[in-house]
Amino acid sequence: MRLLLIEDYRPLRQSLTKGLHEAGFAVDATGDGNEGLWYALGNEYDVIILDLMLPGMDGLEILRRVRSQGRKASVLILTAKDTVQDRVTGLDLGADDYLVKPFAFEELLARVRALLRRSYQEKNPCLEIADLRIDLTAQRVWRGTEEIQLTAREYALLEYLAMRAGQAVSRTGIWEHVYEFNASASSNVVDVYVGYLRKKIERTDKPALIHTLRGRGYMLGVKP
Amino acid sequence: MMRSLRARLLAGVIGGMVLLLTLFSLLLHAMIAGALRSQFDISLASVAQILAASVESDEDEAELEIQRMPALQDAGRPTYYQLWGPDGQVVIKSPLLSAHNLPRADTPVQTPIFRTAQVIHGKFWRIVNLRFVARPSESDGENAAPATEERSFTLAVARDTSELREQLHFLQWLLLNASGVVITLSFLIAWWVVRRGLHPLNSLAAEIAAVRADTLTTQIGADNVPSEVAPIRDRLNELLARLEASFRRERQFNSDVAHELRTPLAGIRSTIEVALARHREATEYRAALGDCLEITQGMQCVVNNLLLLARADTRQISFKNEPIPLAGLVSACWYPFTNKARERCIAFENRIPVKMTCESDAEHLSMVFSNLLGNAVEYADKGGRIWATARTTGDSILITLSNTGCRLTAEQVSHVFDAFWRGDAARLGTGTHCGLGLALVYRLVGALGGHVIAEVQDGVFTVRLTFPSTGNEKGPGQAQRSVPGRGLESTG
């Protein structure tokens, strides 16, 4: 899943970027309001984590413009402003959640995951595709009773596919949601990671779950 | 001394009423008593005149025809008389007097003299003495001797004053009781009137009592306030407005403080939590600790400056008064910023005359210059200039610090001395720049007895400091802004 973090306080931005990245998210981060808006309008993000008081452009203005441009990304406002009026203003402008500083990083992660589930209309924190089970909260994966160890990037790829189980997912879509904006692009990096994932998930005695759709990308699920 | 307004008004009204009633009663009593006495005397004098007219005399004897005077015969309300001849011998007297005699006074002819005396039967009697010349006896005819003063008679007529005294006593009783009733009724009416009159004050007091810290915007006594109370209401509302403004600034300041501390706290917490989320190499832990240290230093800066601000506001800082070589102090304050200025290719020029001195506190004045120079180095354009000047004007010293590359508008410059206000470009420094440096300058300059204003012109940001050349002896002054400030503003 791809996140955009717009936070002007550098130490907080750095630690959040690192933590979110380690949690399996692709994170683009900026401390400038104008740059943040440019990122938000130029890319498809699953969640935008937005500070309110920013240099260049105010966070609420960014939110207004993102919504007016029809962007559907979930927006989590992250700010030190804690009055009811501040929260109401933020939520009324189209934010999906509001978290007041200081906060527990685990809570931020939980809220981001909840927003993701809401985006994909998936209320169950555990996804099950055939005998593949994914715990979205603990970020653990099982095939049958056997737990599968995945790297953060592999997990992010699996989660993205699982959220769209049964649907064709393009390589571009995977790239946009799983990799950061600044990641060095490579023509077959998605295929490579899908290959890694296949090796860890597929079992010879069980039906294949990751399918290559010629010219369209990939699909996670059991083919009828 | 009575502290109750109601008691004072009641005491004033009732006291005044008692005094007026007493004076009125005394006057009325005196007038009625005088009239009654006058009437009594007139009646008595009439009797005396009638009696005198009824006296006939010849050379040998005098005759009094009392049978024509039925009043003299009334035993219930006797009127006594006594007549003395020209020789002073009693000619005739009321038989009821028996052995008693009425007092005799020598008066001018036909001029009655009145007196009150306790002469008979222990009672008070009103006596009139009248000297007159008796008419000659009719029997003498034309042979009668001419009436002369030598042949004048003296008549005394006395009447009991009991009835008059009873009337006067009744009058006194009537006035006393009427006054009592009037005073009681006046008290009740005055109490009611005062109570109603003071009702607006009570309502005002109730409204004031209902005002809380969160309802300071309430307007007190908006309706139905008497014109006498209106000025008090207006002043109270003005006071409430000032209090509300003060509370609002306080709340904003607290909110800003909370914000300034929350963001770095969030930084520390997330840095630590992310670091502890998994096992890491020592270098990663070291980097996390370094980040936390940097954040902590920023917070320490905020807290220290907040403390200094609070102390400067409450005049808890003690200042020395010493001659300070200004150019040297500014150069010393510039020194820590030389590296940063070199990195940003900023030129600094100290144009302050070398021999110029200022009577002030070196430690706190250096804080002022350090903050201003630090601010200038931070926000001057790359390759720009910073310069300091000073000159004496009258009995004060004007010091200016200017830097190029200012992108603030005049409106923004009016806020530079507000705590936690940062120009948009400075917001990148959340947590690292305190946002308190210029606020501290403003407070310190004021506490040092000086004035400070900031202005921007053609991209040059200039801070003008004015200090008395004789130091801080006249007490702290008030720093000024170039444009009236609007209180604190949150910025990040």
B456 lies in the same domain as B347: yes
Q: Indicate the length of chain A as a whole number.
A: 224
CA–CA distance, A18 with A15 (Å, rounded to integer): 5
Chain A residues whose beta carbon lies within 8 Å of the beta carbon of residue B274: 15-16, 18-19, 22, 105
What is the pLDDT at residue B308? 82
Report residue B10's pLDDT band, with 50, 70 and 90 as the boundaries. confident
**Pick from B355, B365, B394: nearest CA to B465:** B365
Same domain as B376, residue B304 = no
Q: Shortest Cα distance from B438 to chain A (angstroms)?
A: 20
User: Which of A175-179, B15-19, B174-178, B301-305 is predicted with the least confidence, judged by mean pLDDT?
Assistant: A175-179
The reply to whether omega before B323 is within 30° of 0 (cis) is no
Measured CA to CA in angstroms, residue B469 lies from B267, B371, B399, B475 at distances of: 46, 22, 11, 13
Please, are residues B192 and B30 in contact by the beta-carbon 8 Å criterion? no
Per CB-CB distance under 8 Å, the chain B contacts of A8 are 427-428, 430, 492
Say if residue B293 is in the same domain as residue B358.
no
Say yes or no to pLDDT of B170 above 50.
yes
Chain A residues touching residue B275 (CB < 8 angstroms): 15
Instruction: Name the domain boundary from B311, B339, B371.
Output: B311
Give the pLDDT of residue B330: 93
Enumerate the residues of chain A whose CB falls inside 8 A of the CB of residue B263: 9, 12, 80, 101
B191 and B14 Cβ atoms separated by less than 8 Å: no
> What per-residue confidence (pLDDT) applies to A122?
66
User: Any chain B CB within 8 A of the CB of A138?
Assistant: no
Mutating which of B430, B433, B489 best tests the A interface, going by the most A Cβ atoms within 10 A? B430
Tell me: do B367 and B446 sit in the same domain.
Answer: yes
| Three-state SS at A39 | helix
**Would an 8 Å CB–CB cutoff place A64 in contact with chain B?**
no
User: What pLDDT score was predicted for residue A117?
Assistant: 83
Q: What is the mean pLDDT of residues B402-410?
A: 87
Are residues B274 and B153 both part of a single domain?
Answer: no
Q: Say what the pLDDT of residue B492 is.
A: 31
On whether both B269 and B355 belong to a single domain, the answer is no
* Residue A6 confidence (pLDDT) above 90: yes
| CATH 1.10.10.10 domain residues, chain A | 126-220
**What's the pLDDT score for residue B169?**
92
Contact yes or no for B264 and A100 at CB 8 A: no
CB A132 within 8 Å of CB A144:
no
Nearest to A11 among B262, B267, B277 (CB): B267
Q: Whose CA is closest to B57, among B127, B154, B130?
A: B154
Q: What secondary structure letter does DSSP report for A146?
A: E
A38 burial type by CB count under 10 A (0-12 exposed, 13-18 middle, 19+ buried): middle
C-alpha–C-alpha distance, residues B70 and B66, integer Å: 8
Tokens standing for residue B190: 């005055």
B427 vs A18, A54, A101: nearest CB: A54
pLDDT reading at B142 higher than 60: no
Q: Is residue B216 in some structural domain?
A: no
Say whether both B281 and B323 belong to one domain: no
The predicted structure's pLDDT at residue B425: 45
Residue B485 pLDDT greater than 50, yes or no = no
- List, for residues B311-348, the tens digit of each pLDDT value: 777 777 778 888 889 999 999 999 999 999 999 899 99
Task: Out of A9, A105, A108, name the one closest to residue B430 (CB).
Answer: A9
Report whether pLDDT(B479) > 50. Answer: no
**pLDDT tens per residue across span B283-297:** 999 999 999 998 898
Q: Give ipTM to 2 decimals.
A: 0.74
| pLDDT over 80 at B78, yes or no | no
CATH topology of domain A2-119: Rossmann fold (3.40.50)
Residue B256 pLDDT exceeds 80:
no
Residue bearing the bigger pLDDT, A174 or A14: A14
User: Min CA distance, A35 vs chain B (Å)?
Assistant: 13
Q: A9: which DSSP letter?
A: -
Which CATH code is given to the segment(s) A126-220?
1.10.10.10
Average pLDDT over every residue of A97-124: 86
CA distance B359 to B378: 29
User: What are the tens digits of pLDDT across the range A38-97?
Assistant: 999 988 898 999 998 888 888 999 999 999 988 888 999 988 877 888 888 888 888 999
Confidence of residue B491 (pLDDT cuts 50, 70, 90): very low
Q: Do B431 and A9 touch (CB under 8 A)?
A: yes
Higher pLDDT, B64 or B472: B64
Banded pLDDT at B73 (limits 50, 70, 90): low
pTM of the model: 0.58
Assign A202 to helix, strand or coil: coil
Q: How far apart are CA B370 and CA B378, in angstroms?
A: 12
**Quick check: B484 pLDDT over 80?**
no
- Considering chain A, tell me which residue range(s) the CATH 3.40.50.2300 domain(s) occupy: 2-119
Domain count, chain B: 3
Considering B292, B311, B330, which residue would you say is the last residue of a domain? Answer: B311
Q: How far is CA A2 from CA A84, A179, A200, B118, B149, in A?
A: 29, 7, 23, 130, 148
Tell which wins on pLDDT, B224 or A48: A48
User: Taking the CB of residue A121, how many other CB atoms lie within 10 A of it?
Assistant: 7
- Sign (positive/negative) of CA torsion B189, B194, B200, B202? negative
Query: Please, what is the average pLDDT of chain A?
Result: 86
**Range A148-176 average pLDDT:** 85
CA B62 to CA B134: how far, in whole Å?
Answer: 8
Task: Say what the pLDDT of residue B27 is.
Answer: 93
Residues of chain B with pLDDT > 90, as a percent, come to 22
Report chain B residues whose CB lies below 8 A from the CB of A35. none
Q: Which residues contact A95 (CB under 8 A, 6 or more apart)?
A: A50, A63, A75, A76, A77
CB B463 within 8 A of CB B482: no
pLDDT of residue B109: 80
The mean pLDDT value for A8-31 works out to: 90
What is the arithmetic mean of pLDDT over B159-179? 89
User: What was the pLDDT predicted at B164?
Assistant: 86
Percentage with pLDDT > 90 across chain A = 29
Top-confidence residue, A122 or B361: B361
Q: Can you give the three-state secondary structure of chain B, one letter per residue?
A: CCCCHHHHHHHHHHHHHHHHHHHHHHHHHHHHHHHHHHHHHHHHHHHHHHHHHCEEECCCCEEECHHHCHHHHCCCCCEEEEEECCCCCEEEECHHHCCCCCCCCCCCECCCEEEEEEEECCEEEEEEEEEEECEECHHHHHHCCCCCHHHEEEEEEEEECHHHHHHHHHHHHHHHHHHHHHHHHHHHHHHHHHHHHHHHHHHHHHHHHCCCHHHCCCCCCCCCCCCCCHHHHHHHHHHHHHHHHHHHHHHHHHHHHHHHHHHHHHHHHHHHHHHHCCCCCHHHHHHHHHHHHHHHHHHHHHHHHHHHHHHHHCCCCCCCCEEEEHHHHHHHHHHHHHHHHHHCCCEEEECCCCCCEEEECHHHHHHHHHHHHHHHHHHCCCCCEEEEEEEEECCEEEEEEEECCCCCCHHHHCCCCCCCCCCHHHHHHECCECCCHHHHHHHHHHHCCCEEEEEEECCEEEEEEEEECCCCCCCCCCCCCCCCCCCCCCCC
Q: How far apart are CA A56 and CA B427, in angstroms?
A: 9
Which amino acid, residue B474?
A: K
Residue B474 resides in a domain: no
Same structural domain for residues B332 and B256?
no
- Domain containing B297 equals 230-311
Instruction: Say yes or no for a CB contact (<8 Å) between A8 and B430.
Output: yes
Cross-chain residue pair B270–A19, CB shorter than 8 Å: yes
CATH code at B394?
A: 3.30.565.10
pLDDT score for B486: 32
Taking alpha carbons only, the member of A38, A32, A13 closest to residue B271 is A13
Indicate if B287 and B324 belong to the same structural domain: no
- CATH number reported for the structural domain that contains residue B43 in this entry: 3.30.450.20
Do B305 and B358 fall within a single domain? no
Q: Residue A164's pLDDT band (boundaries 50, 70, 90)? A: confident
Q: Does A41 touch chain B (CB under 8 A)?
A: no
Which of the residues B270, B408, B489, B491 would you substitute to probe the A interface, choosing the one with the greatest number of A C-beta atoms within 10 Å? B270
Neighboring chain A residues of B294 at a CB cutoff of 8 Å = 11
**Side-chain half-sphere of B444: how many Cα atoms within 13 Å?**
25
B387 with B432, same domain: the answer is yes
The maximal CA–CA distance of chain A, rounded, in angstroms, is 58
Taking an 8 Å cut-off on Cβ atoms, the answer to whether B267 and A18 are in contact is no
CA–CA separation, A103 vs A97, rounded Å?
14
* Contact by Cβ (8 Å): B201, B5: yes
Same domain, B306 and B320: no
State how far the alpha carbon of B240 is from the alpha carbons of B243, B300, B374, in Å.
5, 36, 40
**Cβ separation of B270 and A22 shorter than 8 Å?**
no
Return the exposure string of B372-388: e unless at least 16 CB atoms fall within 10 Å of the residue's CB, then b.
bbbbbbbbbeeebbbbb
Please say if the pLDDT value at position A112 is more than 80.
Answer: yes
Count CB pairs under 8 A between chains A and B: 94
Measured CA to CA, the distance from residue B287 to residue A139 in angstroms comes to 27
Mean of the per-residue pLDDT values of chain B: 81
